[in-house]
Amino acid sequence: MMVATTRTGSKADDYSIVQCAMLYGLESGLQRRFERHGAYEMFQELKLIFQANARIERYEVSNKFYSCKMEENSSISEHILRIKGCGGRNQEGASSVDG
């Protein structure tokens, strides 16, 4: 019986540590918003918030990239450099969103 209590206490302690670590990593406004949430609930809500923002950001970057058209009588090399610049920003945005 003593082993079961120790395991339960250990899981509760681990859950509390995870919850505190998650709160510590948030901005103060988000900390106040989630201070009464459990770790799992906090994770689920943060995932929804940031997935929506990531979708919007990917759309905006993709839209900018696809609207990058070559101007008439312009140099191909300049156009390629401009597209490459759009692609570089797209990759940076994707890595910050995904990671």
Closest CA to 50 of 42, 62, 60, 39: 42
Cα distances (angstroms) measured from residue 6 to each of 11, 12, 15: 9, 10, 14
Band the pLDDT of 5: cuts 50, 70, 90: very low
Does residue 4 or residue 40 have the better pLDDT? 40
What is the arithmetic mean of pLDDT over 68-75? 79
Which pLDDT does position 62 carry in this prediction? 83
DSSP per-residue letters across 17-33: HHHHHHHHTS-HHHHHH
Band the pLDDT of 97: cuts 50, 70, 90: very low
Asked if 61 contacts 87 with a C-beta cutoff of 8 angstroms, the reply is no
* Domain layout of the chain by residue ranges: 2-98
* pLDDT digits 0-9 by tens, 15-61: 888 888 888 888 888 889 888 888 899 989 988 888 888 888 888 88
Q: Which two tokens stand for residue 76?
A: 């191909």
Cα distances (angstroms) measured from residue 82 to each of 58, 60, 68, 88: 19, 17, 8, 10
Band the pLDDT of 2: cuts 50, 70, 90: very low
Asked if 20 contacts 31 with a C-beta cutoff of 8 angstroms, the reply is no
Single pTM value for the model = 0.46
